[in-house]
Amino acid sequence: MLNPDFNIKIRVEDVIYFNLFPRKEIFFCLKMSNLLEIAKKRILVLDGAMGTMIQRYKLDEADFRKDWFENHTSPLKGNNDLLSLTRPDIIKQIHFSYFEAGADIVETNTFSATKIAQADYGLQSFAYDINFHSAKIAREIADEFSLKEPNKPRFVAGSIGPTNRTASISPDVNDPSFRNTSFDELNDAYQEQVNALIDGGVDLLLIETVFDTLNAKAALFAVEKVFESKNISLPVMVSGTITDASGRTLTGQTTEAFLISMSHFPLFSVGLNCALGAADMQPYLKTLARKAPFYISAHPNAGLPNEFGEYDETPEMMTQQIESFLEDNLINIIGGCCGTTPKHIKAISNLASNYNPRILN
């Protein structure tokens, strides 16, 4: 067993060296110790939206096919996860921008990278490649910043989205018992994704935008199985989505019920993201902060979308709302979701540096 105090004093160069060492459990132990120690001392900053940034590049169909899918028969434009294969330069630039803005953690470009979600494009056989290369891209940029600023190591979270199917709700109003996926199918898809993300070098896993707890349980079960098979353990974040003013997820759970459903797993953090702007999210974060034995995360949208599907909240508007999270000592990890940019993350990072993290219950 490695001495935890020794782990924390290891140089960034040593951590990168251990990433190449055959005994990968040493590397993961070092990285986890470092992350856990930092989380005790200050609020960690997560990155912002990926889609918002990709839209700025005005990409066309060819960008989603380049060097990989020129002969694919289905349209691919809008399948943003593919850009980790076809336009890795763009994904690198986005990760770089968020780290430069002050993020401690960036998410891999893998929100829809399960074979279940990719089946809509006929690309289910490329799920491993998408996740593996996405993780490698983020790892490269994180290590670059960690070497330049060893006093502020950067981390990579493997983004695990909810898929485009739900195990709890029938998509057919005429057949309430029908399901278009199963727990076993979700578990199988998530195991492939988690394996690829870890092989690509992520430091932690983020199961996010949870609207169906059964889907999330399948993801956690998959994570557990992969950890067992690889004989490792990484910090795991789970982030749910409150869909409207009712304060419930799409499948009808309250915030407290969602927390209880996730509490069987030794999570690094539990939190909320997407759907709501920061102001509307606060009462549900208070519930988590009161009840959760884990760190609390939040990455809200830049307000609600306007009639054109765009997000209007400026960094200044967003930080005014987020400041109340910090003043009430609700947060350990803060970032942004839909509509947020590096400018938002820079403002959030500057604000968060003035506050102490929430102490675990």
Write out pLDDT tens, residues 108-122: 999 999 999 999 999
Distances in Å between the Cα of 130 and the Cα atoms of 77, 256, 275 are 15, 34, 26
Q: What is the pLDDT of residue 174?
A: 83
Q: Write down the residue that tokens 């694919």 correspond to.
A: 72
- Local confidence band at 180 (pLDDT 50, 70, 90 cut-offs): confident
Write out pLDDT tens, residues 245-286: 788 998 889 999 999 999 999 999 999 999 888 889 999 999
Residue 23, in any domain of the structure: no
Residue 4, in any domain of the structure: no
Q: Stretch 310-330: mean pLDDT, rounded?
A: 94
Q: What is the pLDDT of residue 199?
A: 98
Write out pLDDT tens, residues 11-27: 333 333 334 333 444 44
Render the burial of 243-259: b for 16+ CB within 10 Å, e for the rest.
beeebbbbbebebeebb
Q: What is the pLDDT of residue 32?
A: 61
Predicted confidence (pLDDT) at residue 9 exceeds the cutoff of 50: no
Neighbours of 64 (CB within 10 A): 23
Q: What is the pLDDT of residue 202?
A: 97
Report the domain count for the chain: 1
Residue 57, in any domain of the structure: no
Residue 126, in any domain of the structure: yes
Which structural domain range is residue 334 located in? 42-47+98-352
Q: What is the pLDDT of residue 33?
A: 62
Q: What is the pLDDT of residue 311?
A: 87
CATH number at residue 116: 3.20.20.330
Q: What is the pLDDT of residue 145?
A: 96
Write out pLDDT tens, residues 130-174: 999 999 999 999 999 999 999 999 999 999 999 999 888 878 778
Residue 58, in any domain of the structure: no
HEC profile of the chain: CCCHHHHHHCCHHHHHHHHCCCCHHHHHHHHHHHHHHHHHHCCEEECCCCHHHHHCCCCCHHHHCCCCCCCCCCCCCCCHHHHHHHCHHHHHHHHHHHHHHCCCEEECCCCCCCHHHHHHHCCHHHHHHHHHHHHHHHHHHHHHHHHHCCCCCCEEEEEECCCCCCCCCCCCCCCCCCCCCCHHHHHHHHHHHHHHHHHHCCCEEEEEEECCHHHHHHHHHHHHHHHHHHCCCCCEEEEECCCCCCCECCCCCEHHHHHHHHCCCCCCEEEEEEEEEHHHHHHHHHHHHHHCCCEEEEEEECCCECCCCCECCCHHHHHHHHHHHHHCCCCCEECCCCCCCHHHHHHHHHHHCCCCCCCCC
Residue 34, in any domain of the structure: no
Q: What is the pLDDT of residue 20?
A: 39
Q: What is the pLDDT of residue 29?
A: 53
Cβ atoms of 56 and 47 closer than 8 Å: no
Residue 65, in any domain of the structure: no
Token reading at 32: 């986890």
- Local confidence band at 2 (pLDDT 50, 70, 90 cut-offs): very low
Q: Could you give the percent of the chain with pLDDT greater than 70?
A: 91
Residue 22, in any domain of the structure: no
Q: What is the pLDDT of residue 31?
A: 58
